[in-house]
Amino acid sequence: MQKVRKVKGTKDLFGNEILNHNFIKNQFQKVCKSFNFKQIATPILEHCEVFTKSLGLSSDIVSKEMYNFVDQGDDNLVLRPEGTAAIARAVITNALEQENNKLFYHGPMFRREKPQAGRLRQFHQVGVEYIGSKNFLNDLEIILLAEKFLDSLGIRNKLVLQINSLGNSISRNAYNLALNKFLQKNINFLSDTSKERLSKNPLRILDSKEPKDQELIKESPDITKHLDEESRVFFENLINGLEKLQINFKINRFLVRGLDYYNHTAFEYITTEEKSQNTVLAGGRYDGLIRSLGGGELTGVGWAAGIERIVMKLERSIKCDSKKICFFSTNQNLDIEVLKIIKNTKFKNSIKINVINSGSLKKKFAKANKIGAYGCIIIGESEWESKKVIWKNFTTGKQELVNIDNIEEFFNKYF
């Protein structure tokens, strides 16, 4: 019989890969909590309009990447393609529209894209939203949070922070007009997709990945020259703040986020190596979003990062779970002593114990490695006679003898 297959662009997570995902999520949660952000989890299913009304009909996500379907009750539903609009919906639904609501989330997102390395149809994001007040200090705070998060993963120095301003809606409209005029004049140099986009949303052409478009984009009018006083001051304050905090960045006037709801700040942490999958973390300000979904005049700023893309940047992928310890003996007669040690020891710090009690010694080691143990405690005959056990650390390969009376102390010190 033909074997069943997994869906294209999706992945089963297990072994080291899921350990990497968990490591990233743990670091993320720690940093978010230290900034007093609160967790929110919204459903994977949303009404289609949550995204059509917010992201804009001409965005890549809505126009070609959304998994939408009509259910048995005739509801038009989608598997959420991103987190921000869903959280804005949740803020409205649950009357969370107070100022300074600091939220973080993680979970799977769905987009029907062409699968490649770092581009999946079901992928995972971590993200933050700072909803409430229109203050450049909020933008600065979530960038600082991103800095700490990327630093905690040891990957900040592999990324460049690029930043731009789209200005307020007045500036954005003025720029759109100027850009439209320029692109209309040069329409023959545009790719077919961009020609189509020109009438709907010229700004999005700056986001194009087509080499043909990129040549022309270099010559396009400068967005920073179209910022009005309010927008210019907002951007200057942010830039000065970044300088004062000694956060490295580069202004990239071509950086526009692909979604309609952004204004003022837009930023991305990108790698220099790869081409189209080079954005690891991206975000910006979205002052009109909550209003576009029928809520109040509530501003916000946030970012999201792709877990799969972060994994690609980690120096050394996590090979083991640092709390998982195996216990076994070299001789069947000593198996009961293994259990006695476990009975008499108070293990702290969420140590996960795995007793291995079958197979040859070689098989026991192999099993401990296979389950991703950090190390193992071995009761060997000769060592046991002198009331000692062996501790072997799989990550460093080192081993040492531990007195059985000191096992508790050893674990408390070591973990």
Residues that bind ligand ATP (CB under 6 A): 82, 111, 113, 118-120, 123, 125, 258, 277, 279-282, 304-306, 308-309
Alpha-carbon gap, residue 143 to 303, rounded angstroms: 9
| Lookup: tokens for 221 | 């009018």
Q: Which is nearer to ligand ATP, 179 or 280 (CB)?
A: 280
Cβ neighbors of 361 (< 8 A, separation 6 or more) are 330
Q: Which is nearer to ligand ATP, 242 or 280 (CB)?
A: 280
Return the HEC string of 301-343.
EEEEEEHHHHHHHCCCCCCCCCCEEEEEECCHHHHHHHHHHHH
Start-to-end Cα distance in the chain: 49
Rounded-to-5 percentages of helix, strand, coil across the chain: 40, 25, 35
Q: Provide, rounded to whole angstroms, the least separation between the CB of residue 279 and ligand ATP.
A: 4
| Lookup: tokens for 352 | 């996960």
Q: Provide, rounded to whole angstroms, the least separation between the CB of residue 282 and ligand ATP.
A: 4
Q: Provide, rounded to whole angstroms, the least separation between the CB of residue 172 and ligand ATP.
A: 18
Q: Provide, rounded to whole angstroms, the least separation between the CB of residue 115 and ligand ATP.
A: 8
Q: Which is nearer to ligand ATP, 143 or 404 (CB)?
A: 143
Burial group, residue 356, by CB count within 10 angstroms (0-12, 13-18, 19+):
buried
Q: Which is nearer to ligand ATP, 160 or 334 (CB)?
A: 160
Q: Provide, rounded to whole angstroms, the least separation between the CB of residue 119 and ligand ATP.
A: 4
Residue nearest ligand ATP (C-beta atom): 306
Q: Provide, rounded to whole angstroms, the least separation between the CB of residue 173 and ligand ATP.
A: 22
Q: Which is nearer to ligand ATP, 84 or 101 (CB)?
A: 84
Q: Which is nearer to ligand ATP, 264 or 324 (CB)?
A: 264
Greatest CA separation for the chain: 89
Measured from the Cβ of residue 279, the count of other Cβ atoms closer than 10 Å reads 19
